[in-house]
Amino acid sequence: MKDDESLDSFRSSLDANYEWPCLFPFKFIVPKKQCATVLDLFADDPVKANESSSGRFIAYTMEMHVHSSDEVIAIYQRVAQVPGVISL
């Protein structure tokens, strides 16, 4: 989410589809060499992991209790700093 228009659109969509606070599902596809970095960001939250058939990536799924669309966006922005991560 690089530009302000995309960010505002995503925020509006979140606010239209969720009532805060709530459990929000996150899913990230992570290159295996970056797994520890991503897991450190979610140290206190339960994470489900599923390795890709090639073994090069791991898909992480977690539900986190969040209070607002801004908190969701902040989490996505934090994870986006890790090289090679795909956010779904």
Query: What mean pLDDT, rounded, does the chain reach?
Result: 92
Candidates 59, 57, 60; CA nearest to 42 is 60
SS3 1: coil
Q: Which CATH architecture has domain 4-87?
A: 2-Layer Sandwich (3.30)
The tens digit of pLDDT for each residue in 16-59 reads: 999 999 999 999 999 999 999 999 888 787 899 999 999 999 99
CB 55 within 8 A of CB 8: no
pTM for the model stands at 0.87
Domain spans, the chain: 4-87
